[in-house]
A and B are shown apart, each in its own frame.
Chain A
């Protein structure tokens, strides 16, 4: 009462709460949040992998501060990293496992949860075979946990229908690296941003998604030429010296066209090709289908510009091409990645400082699951079907060879289809939220409803968790030990600063304990394992001699050096900043990289009268993926609390809407209402952009089940949609191609020739 009065009269200005105090590590900081200790760790959001310290006060995480001595971020952190401690105490954390009883999820003991799930798994295995169990994992766990989970699923549960959400983001890069270079593994380093003379950012909006990489570009003393290739004038495109606004999903044709010009002009690095590369003849023949004018017609980028880009690749000392989802999330994502690699091989722009085809990973440890996870390959990038590799692995971990799967099971999308067909009966979802992130939500939800058992293991009450039968409540970043591998193969130490809430357990402990519910499994695959370091030690032995060689690493080294880039062994005691240097050969059978003939395919769902607009989706800096982590952090969520639709003024005026109004979007698969309009010139007429983070405006209701056949990655980025405003409910009327151009040609204007051709081609291949 007295306090209320004091408060009303303003007698207390809470000076103490807002005072500063001296901290021995970081100087003057907030006194009320001054930590008792700082814990060395690595950020758990994206694949950049920033080094940081977690401040802990009275057992609670109160601060996250960038590690100035860490080579990745040199003291800086993005807004999500800076507020990461708030994620730990988010109100949607799960303090206890839960089991659905009488239709309602209720807190349970671990024993109940494990018993129920293991019983059902065994029952389904007996009845339908072990492959009737599907597992969807993530890029969010620690490497030790991925390795542990992989063993449990493949060797314990004995199902190879196991994939991760990494298939929704990085799979095309994985498969592209594999088919061109013989193995997965990003070739470059962040320091290459500092060494390059030309930086090509293709389908990569690093300003929103990896802002800390700007630091490395900023550090480059060469004033590099920055080429941004994107259908959208994104925040990232603002850095561009050359902005290439190509038509949606014409990236493969663009890179083929550049390769054509390089060969046509004799700009290829013949010496490099001779020594390191095969397939030049076939490629040269294949590229005859991609002459500059044809590529100009496909991409909408004029011939002169094509030559300029090609020349940049050929004539610059060092070119770095970095890409993310714009390239990967494509029905020909794998081949697009290979087309980029083709160009780098042709021009010898690989394996040198500043020269690399370089994928930038989305999640903090998508790399960890790629290396260890048992999904796209056996641990250590050992290929499925490679008998020698399989027996080598079986020997190292001391299990019978017949236990090692000989082929990859279903990929993410195929798992969903198998559920649809009734082939997969139980699904275990670990730290991912398909109910927001997967394509074609209506179809997904119908499929999931068919499951006999849905188990969700998560630190947060996600949309998917709410649908589950059993929840395994997990610890999250800051609550567990292990390591993360970032985009540049740097293995970073992640430490436990605080304990998980309630009776939640680290994912590692969940896997270990859960395995004990299956006869003999724990003894076989986790002999004497107690802590994540036991997994790490085995993994070091498993990876020895592989490209992703951890054998020379230790946790101490990771802390001391701010992460170690694999391969790390006797030859590279402190790791290697890049792959495919003269010391590190390609992992193909003949040790040479492959130039591949790759075919560009027009949009699989072209626009038409009914759906004349192309929808592009992506991310915004303030939110993380499906918002399970960031949706309850006010300082982030307030800045982007709901989805919006970026729309060109021409389309806005056709729909009679202005910024702040509301729109609906529809596609053949569904309709999303109540999206706030943002009229902007960052998108071209006929194209819109909507962020995918929001379950409130679930944009993946519209996206289509179209996948890259090689990687299984969905084509999120182009969906034919219609827009509906209150004033113009029927939406945009498609403009018919301008055939009048033919007349103006005849009437004399010679300049209109390329334009005319363009229109004719446009008619054949409508975009």
Chain B
């Protein structure tokens, strides 16, 4: 038997005779000049859709089969025999203005001097906000690790002049690393060479990947996964958290107005009412930590107040809840009304800002169904549920004369809320945005029953039963009115939870074209 040594001791210095970057484990790229960064070049005219890059990436990074940093998408256009199959092999586009980095509440993204958008694993809390923000769906949540992970252009290999795994693996030389002058790219070339069918406009985040596309491409390129209709994650902890904090804002608003009106002789709220306003938020906020991969690190979500709406929300709603707690003490120890009113005004403003920040989290181009003014409208008007809560408490405490106007206000606000909700839905019907069309299909094809239930519960809980209860109050049947209103309130909460669930689960993100079976390979 022969035991001869392998022909080469090491491939690091070895250059295969391909004339391309592929095949070699080391790479020749010029040192970066001032104003330059590294980027990918993908040549779609060379790619044959063999998926070597996908597998090579996972092998390099030890990622399991369902965590794909590099994905190959398929598109088709034209008609037989002039059919064009177009492949898009994409990992991270290492943007000039990365949406992942801007939105990250924990500053876990770092744009290296060489342009690589790097994810710092230890500081990540697994909030997955980056997976929402990236218009390419690049960051992917790794359940086993409880954090998000993404392509880093094999930066450790590059630093040692070694080829990234995908570049090394491509038998067509379709994937290359290049240096790009950022200003020149942004001034001209990004519009002509930065775009690929079905990808978000490169200008959105100033993506740096250069694409070479075939000449005379058919106008319409269909995605191979066009037939997929997959609901997004339901985000149950966030469903509860958002609805409950919004309810608190409404309840606190009612408390504040009640406190002002008490100056004019109306019912004077007690510490119990102050506590009541606090309870939903106090329940909801900690719940939100449950959607984190690493809930114990929830507090670090406030690290990036400078650019992240998520940080702002966490800080503002945290403060709102804290201030509301203090406010309970102010009531309990009967601190002077003027001081308390001032304090309540500040608290209310913090709360309003908190819900504003909360809504702004969803105002992201990568999720068109969220990125609509109706999101802000709906988030604020969900506060009507807090009004109902306080009104119910008033009736229970026997002050029906104060309760009735509040109940009317609650009903009016709920009608406004209903209109905003309906408007948002009707907007889907009128839209030709592919993502919004799919959102509508999700409503109709997968969640029709839930959607109907949402409206029935809203109609009953926010209108029919409250009206009945006012009649009952007028008739002096207070205990029956209470029962009616409790039932109504339960229905309202259910209705808003359903609506919020639908909000999350029917969103369809901007995403690259995927594979026929696997789609874009994102959960």
Contacts and interface: CB of A to CB of B under 8 A. Distances in A.
A26 B171 CA distance: 18
A233 B81 contact: yes
B110 to A, nearest CB: 17
B92 to A, nearest CB: 16
Contact of A560 (B7, B79, B84, B121): B7
Interface string B261-305: 000000000000000000000000000000011111100000000
**Residue from B1, B23, B26 with most neighbouring chain A CB atoms (10 Å):** B23
B1 to A, nearest CB: 6
Contacts of A517: none
A215 B169 CA distance: 11
A33 B62 contact: yes
B7 A69 contact: yes
B61 A681 contact: no
Given A10-B126, A10-B147, A25-B11, A76 B80 contact: no
B181 interface: no
Interface in A621-657: 621-622, 634-636, 638-642, 644, 648
B85 A26 contact: no
Given A10-B296, A27-B25, A68-B23, A555 B85 contact: no
B48 A28 contact: no
A238 B162 contact: no
A501 interface: no
Contacts of B338: none
Interface string A225-236: 000000001011
Contact of B59 (A67, A82, A206): A82
B25 to A, nearest CB: 5
A472 interface: no
B522 interface: no
Interface string B118-161: 00011011100000000000000000111101000010110010
B499 interface: no
Interface in B277-336: 292-297
Interface in B226-241: 226-228
B193 to A, nearest CB: 20
Contact of A219 (B8, B18, B78): B18
A83 B146 CA distance: 26
B6 A68 contact: no
Interface stretch (A13-21, A155-163, A411-419): A13-21
B50 interface: yes
Contacts of B61: 18, 20, 30
Contacts of B51: 79, 621-622, 639
A75 interface: yes
A638 B16 CA distance: 32
> On chain A, which size bracket covers the interface?
35 or more
A760 B322 CA distance: 87
A742 interface: no
A292 B60 CA distance: 54
Contacts of B2: 554-556, 559
A40 B11 contact: no
Given A26-B12, A239-B48, A680-B76, A644 B170 contact: no
A82 B169 contact: yes
Contacts of B146: 7, 10, 12-13
B341 to A, nearest CB: 42
Tell me the dominant secondary structure on chain B's binding face: loop
B495 interface: no
Contacts of B16: 68-69, 74-75
A562 interface: yes
B83 to A, nearest CB: 4
Interface string A731-743: 0000000000000
Interface string B83-124: 111000000000000000000000000000000000001101
Interface in A1-55: 7, 9-15, 17-18, 20, 24-30, 32-33, 38, 40, 53
A75 B227 contact: no
Interface string B1-44: 11010111111101111111011111000000000000000000
Contacts of A68: 8, 11, 14-16, 23-25
B76 A681 contact: yes
Contacts of B168: 66, 75-76
A658 interface: yes
A659 interface: yes
B55 A82 contact: yes
Given A68-B25, A79-B50, A74 B169 contact: no
Interface in B211-229: 224, 226-228
B418 interface: no
A648 B160 CA distance: 50
A705 interface: no
A77 B85 contact: no
Given A63-B59, A76-B171, A621-B51, A682 B296 contact: no
B46 interface: yes
A79 B122 contact: no
A28 B7 contact: no
B58 interface: yes
Contacts of A446: none
B296 A38 contact: no
A20 B158 CA distance: 13
A207 interface: yes
A15 B23 CA distance: 29
A215 B59 contact: no
Contacts of A559: 2, 4, 6-7
A28 B160 contact: yes
A590 interface: no
Nearest to A211: B50
A87 to B, nearest CB: 13
A75 B22 contact: yes
A235 B9 contact: no
B517 A641 contact: yes
A639 B518 contact: yes
A231 to B, nearest CB: 9
B171 A27 contact: no
A233 B77 CA distance: 12
Contact of A235 (B22, B85, B125): B85
A372 B51 CA distance: 35
A531 interface: yes
Contacts of A208: 50
A140 B404 CA distance: 84
Contacts of A18: 61-63, 121, 145, 149
B173 interface: yes
Given A30-B62, A74-B18, A681 B79 contact: yes
Contacts of B293: 10
B445 interface: no
Given A75-B23, A218-B46, A621-B51, A69 B81 contact: no
A234 B49 CA distance: 11
B119 to A, nearest CB: 11
B227 A660 contact: yes
A218 B145 contact: no
Contacts of B185: none
B455 interface: no
B429 to A, nearest CB: 21
Contacts of B295: 9-10
Contacts of B170: 76
Which 9 residue pairs across A and B have the least CB separation, nearest first?
Answer: A10-B294, A10-B146, A75-B23, A660-B227, A634-B65, A211-B50, A207-B48, A74-B16, A30-B62
11 contacts: A27-B11, A28-B157, A68-B24, A69-B14, A69-B16, A76-B170, A554-B2, A634-B65, A639-B518, A681-B79, A682-B85
Interface of B: 1-2, 4, 6-12, 14-20, 22-26, 46, 48-52, 54-56, 58-66, 76, 78-81, 83-85, 121-122, 124-126, 144-147, 149, 154, 156-157, 160, 162, 168-173, 224, 226-228, 292-297, 515-518
Given A207-B48, A219-B18, 7 more contacts: A13-B146, A14-B145, A20-B156, A24-B9, A26-B12, A75-B11, A218-B171
